[in-house]
Amino acid sequence: MGVYLLPSPAFLAVFFISFVTLSVHPEPALAITRHYKFDVVLQNVTRLCKTRSTVTVNGKFPGPRIVAREGDRLLIKVVNNVQNNISIHWHGIRQLRSGWADGPAYITQCPIQTGQSYVYNYTIVGQRGTLWWHAHISWLRSTLYGPLIILPKLGTPYPFAKPYKEVPLIFGEWFKADPEAIINQAMQTGAGPNVSDAYTINGFPGPLYNCSAQDTFKMKVKAGKTYLLRMINAALNDELFFSIANHTLTVVDVDAVYVKPFDTETLLIAPGQTTNVLLKTKPRHPNAKFFMSARPYVTGQGTFDNSTVAGILEYEESPKTIQSSPSTKKLPLYKPSLPPLNDTSFATNFTNKLRSLASAEFPANVPQKVDSQFFFTVSLGTNPCSKNQTCQGPNGTKFAASVNNVSFVMPAKALLQAHHFGQSKGVYSPNFPISPLIPFNYTGTPPNNTMVSNGTKLVVLPFNTSVELIMQDTSILGAESHPLHLHGFNFFVVGQGFGNFDPKKDPGNFNLVDPVERNTVGVPSGGWVAIRFLADNPGVWFMHCHLEVHTSWGLKMAWVVLDGKLPNQKLLPPPADLPNLPRSFLLPVLELRKETSVVLQNVTRLCKTRSMVTVNGKFPGPRIVAREGDRLLIKVVNHVQNNISIHWHGIRQLRSGWADGTAYITQCPIQTGQSYVYNYTIVGQRGTLWWHAHISWLRSTLYGSLIILPKLGTPYPFPKPYREALIIFGEWFNADPEAIINQAMQTGGGPDVSDAYTINGLPGPLYNCSAKKNTFMLKVKVGKTYLLRLINAALNEELFFSIANHTLTVVDVDAVYVKPFDTETLLIAPGQTTNVLLKTKPRHPNAKFFMSARPYVTGQGTFDNSTVAGILEYGVARKTIQSSHSTKKFPIYKPNLPPINDTSFVTNFTSKLRSLASAEFPASVPQKVDSQFFFTVGLGTNPCSKDQTCQGPNGTMFAASVNNVSFVMPTKALLQAYHFGQSKGVYSPDFPISPLIAFNYTGTPPNNTMVSNGTKLVVLPFNTSVELIMQDTSILGAESHPLHLHGFNFFVIGQGFGNFDPKKDPGNFNLFDPVERNTVGVPSGGWVAIRFLADNPGVWFMHCHVEVHMSWGLKVAWIVLDGKLPNQKLLPPPADLPKC
């Protein structure tokens, strides 16, 4: 049949560029993402004149070839269109931290059921060579297999002569009967299964079998060329000798690891193993053809397929040869001389030649010290026959196989899921024996008792354990070679021998310099093999004999490698499409992808046109709407000269702190021309939140709404509104806000205040030049209920808001439902959101109504003392239109807003906010406290630099602080510094838990107003229950401070005026139904008490949401350490995370 040549690597680089989607490595030119789709379908395949409906991938037998380069990421979607359950293993891929993609059914995943699909997602790290993929459930790999070829990185040569062409040779076995029926019958009767009817090369039996002359693999070569043959033994049950008549092969690679080259006429390759050899063709046309033949190497006593497969090596003829010879059919066909079937001497000599390169470029990193030693017997055995059954195994038993006499019982749940989610009880036990419970003369006279024990027992290894494992064959039911494959690791074969392993003598002969590195090794028949590996890959990893019948009988076990301490030493979380992932762990119900471009846009307000930074040219920015449980992927592209970061205000970012968006806290900013994808899932939240820039004062124009609807089918806990309307309060500056704050920070004075407040970006009719187009109009119908989603995006002011002659019902704050209450006016601080119901009048009121907001002021500084208004306008019915020539004469009513300093109203309003505290929406207030903190929040000063005149108090510079520490922004992102253990010189973990010098906080202020400066953080163990008292001070005047905590909601359990009294005030704390928020106002001249559970690992910012105070340093950050369980650990950083 046809030639099966690989194209040259240069061609591959061009061909596969169509698969590029994103870079997954620091070298985008070298590492790309390649997408494949595997449709598992039935296909009629004819071999040996027998047609069989065969399970295939994409209708191909063998399956499709996967080609990638070292460093590439693969996303392979497997769709199951057959009745069998399916899983695919990527044999030899290390799957570093990506064990969910390893593929063995019931070990790392539940199988893919009929009609379902799964995307195997993994990156090839530090590997190049020939590997392969195959089904890993029952005996389906008899037809479900194919090559996985890993080329070196672009520009990296092979460490041997560059081949002219590359050719994969895959050995397999063909069964006329259904292999699934064969093994099922054998498992029922206890007998050995029927053997195959032929071996195959690239799916073809070849001319030595009946009816197969046309089903022969032919490899055409040119004289005087070097070919790289990539050989894979995908046979189910037989090790194979292979040779090409009259040609020498040079072994250069085994199991995708380069070896010291050596020449051989014949090679041995076990099931699961791969071998790359160079074939140098003859310098001239030899006027002959040559068999490429393989037949089994047999050590056991059972039956086997005693046949030989052959392909044909055929030289291409030059034009001169064709002219002088009328026919090439008469060329002689030479056959190779293969070793005898049981030639263990050849097998031993061949394997002894395999040595690692052990060079500077390709070192052999053999563990020199050993932390844990294991001694495993690998052997056959028996299980008793069930009652009322006749079994066909030895002496009426059933064949079995075991490791340390434990025959592995496959679980009904995937082991990796059970381990990851802490649900091992009833699934597996972590007590696999490290050596045989009863030692015996392993290779001598076998014991009379051949019975095995049965169980799902695993070995548990701490991360980075250096392991030495001796695997010893036994004579029970006959000595036999066993090719053992270890998933998730390569190992070094440091020694092997015959007879019983001698722990006193044999280690002295171990090769710790250049042993061969493999993923599958043969335990010699009647002998032993010693391997070493470093357990540096967290997860659950299968180890089993790659003779499929032995695996079926139980010669298998698994290792659990625990997470390490560092974030990059932890198993990644399971993908959302993992088959049969428990519902409680399902991630998104929907994945929303949005791309936003940060661009300059001319915007006119107050008759002043200003070029301003916007998202997608909109002011305010675009609305994001999602549902609880959805996953959001928002690509932000920076087209302006400013550095950019976007914060998703109020999103908890559970384990996804990399998406929180605070510049220099959780990320370096996105620089000009760069982009970043914010990737997060909305967990347990619904309501109104918002997004905004989180760098300098850019949020004055870069902001928008983030509306989270309840899950589909879940109602609001209040009457369903007729419509929903969005109202976002902001501030407008005629000058550039960046220039305003930069000037203030240079001079030390207070910044200029805004020129107007806005509703949905519009100042409204109370400002000059704003009456017509720049007024927000809300049109409503009579007798309807509207849900108004209010957001205070103003930079520096808390706001009163009211609609003239209408009552508002508060139902939600900061995306948390509250006990509904009515109010004419509400207070909303910067950063806060409030949802209210507006019930319109039953009949047309023949009037319009101002919706007005103006500031609540507590401090002594200047402020924008103006009022913004929108207009609530009732739709006019047709009858009204017919009877009235104009609606312009309707009177406009204005609301009565509280005085600008009405703290009494504010206190009464905030005291009404209570959680629902219902069964469906409980208030999970921490009842016990692990750590208590007392933070003063207030203004202060920094000294003026020499040779500078400063405009702050008494010639100083304005500052602000928490516990008198004015936060200094780092030049590196704190989360990255923490995650990678690089905190030195970036931050110190010694933020004071209370003021270093206590004073009468709300009394006569101290004379010394100077602050200290530093980047100091609080460190919390995972799941710490925190109580935090935040106390305003009278330094430079008492003032309200809306404090926002990233990454958490908290409960506001108490507040009051004056100094907090730790003896009396806690007695009045509300631990039953306190309001739950993400932003809370510290009362002017008072205090507030909050509690929260530190259950979200990462680095989390807390700061005053009055932007000028944050600029002056009123901010701090918390580090929450990882928990012990996998789902309590920070996820690793995304590949596109911006760099500083």
286 beta partners: none
* Mean pLDDT of the region 48-58: 96
At 954-992, the pLDDT tens digits run: 999 999 999 999 999 999 999 999 999 999 999 999 999
Position 304 pLDDT exceeds 90: yes
Query: Mapping DSSP to helix (H, G, I), strand (E, B) and coil, where does residue 51 land?
Result: strand
Q: What beta strand segments (E) does 710-797 contain?
A: 723-732, 756-759, 777-780, 785-792
Among residues 907, 879, 913, the alpha carbon closest in space to that of 1053 is found at: 913
pLDDT at 882: 44
pLDDT at 74: 96
Q: What is the pTM of this model?
A: 0.58
At 264-297, the pLDDT tens digits run: 999 999 999 999 999 999 999 999 999 999 999 9
Sheet architecture: strand order including 1050-1057: 1012-1014, 965-967, 957-962, 931-942, 1024-1032, 1086-1094, 1050-1057, 1075-1077
CA separation for the pair 1020, 1023 (Å, rounded): 8
pLDDT at 14: 25
Position 582 pLDDT exceeds 90: no
pLDDT-based confidence at residue 1 (cuts at 50, 70, 90): very low
Report the chain's mean pLDDT, rounded to a whole number: 92
CA separation for the pair 213, 224 (Å, rounded): 28
Highest mean pLDDT among 5-9, 268-272, 390-394: 268-272
Are the C-beta atoms of 518 and 494 separated by less than 8 Å?
A: no
pLDDT at 2: 40
Q: Burial, 683: exposed, middle or buried (Cβ in 10 Å; 0-12, 13-18, 19+)?
A: middle
At 85-119, the pLDDT tens digits run: 999 999 999 999 999 999 999 999 999 999 999 99
* DSSP-assigned letter for residue 879: H
Sheet architecture: strand order including 145-151: 66-69, 145-151, 129-135, 88-91
For strands 1017-1020 and 1115-1120, give the pairing. parallel
Give the side-chain half-sphere CA count within 13 A for 125: 15
CA separation for the pair 123, 29 (Å, rounded): 15
Position 26 pLDDT exceeds 50: no
pLDDT at 319: 61
Position 874 pLDDT exceeds 80: yes
CA separation for the pair 938, 953 (Å, rounded): 15
For strands 591-605 and 631-638, give the pairing. parallel
pLDDT at 16: 25
Are the C-beta atoms of 786 and 874 separated by less than 8 Å?
A: no
pLDDT-based confidence at residue 42 (cuts at 50, 70, 90): very high
Position 880 pLDDT exceeds 60: no
pLDDT at 5: 41
409 beta partners: none
pLDDT-based confidence at residue 326 (cuts at 50, 70, 90): very low
CA separation for the pair 209, 215 (Å, rounded): 9
Domain spanning 931-1128: CATH 2.60.40.420: yes
pLDDT at 238: 97
Element (H, E) at 10: helix 9-15
pLDDT at 773: 85
> Around Cβ 33, how many Cβ atoms within 10 Å?
18
pLDDT at 592: 57
Are the C-beta atoms of 54 and 178 separated by less than 8 Å?
A: no
At 180-219, the pLDDT tens digits run: 999 999 999 999 999 999 999 999 999 999 999 999 999 9
CA separation for the pair 95, 673 (Å, rounded): 33
Position 10 pLDDT exceeds 80: no
CA separation for the pair 164, 418 (Å, rounded): 49
Q: What is the DSSP string of 978-1031?
A: HHTT--TTT-BS---SS-SS---TTSSPPS--BPEEE-BEEEE-TTEEEEEEEE
Position 11 pLDDT exceeds 80: no
- Least confident piece of the model among 15-19, 524-528, 881-885: 15-19
Position 141 pLDDT exceeds 80: yes
Cβ contacts of 645 within 8 Å, gap of 6 or more: 661, 662, 663, 667, 669, 670, 693, 694, 695
Are the C-beta atoms of 171 and 89 separated by less than 8 Å?
A: no
Q: With the CA atoms of 982, 986, 988 and 991 taken in that order, what torsion angle do they form, in degrees rounded to the nearest 10?
A: -130
CATH 2.60.40.420 maps onto the chain at 372-569, 587-714, 718-915, 931-1128
Position 883 pLDDT exceeds 80: no
User: In degrees rounded to 5, what are phi and psi of residue 673?
Assistant: 85, -5
CATH among 1.10.150.120, 3.40.50.970, 1.10.600.10, 2.60.40.420 for 587-714: 2.60.40.420
Distances (CA, A) of 53 to 47, 56, 507: 11, 9, 51
pLDDT-based confidence at residue 876 (cuts at 50, 70, 90): confident
Position 449 pLDDT exceeds 90: yes
CA separation for the pair 290, 246 (Å, rounded): 7
Element (H, E) at 420: helix 415-420
Class of domain 372-569: mainly beta
**CATH code reported for the domain at 718-915:** 2.60.40.420
pLDDT at 22: 23
At 834-843, the pLDDT tens digits run: 999 999 999 9
Q: What is the DSSP string of 383-424?
A: EPPPTT----SGGG-EEEEEETTEEEPPPSS-HHHHHHTT--
Q: Which two tokens stand for residue 1001?
A: 């906080």
Position 425 pLDDT exceeds 50: yes
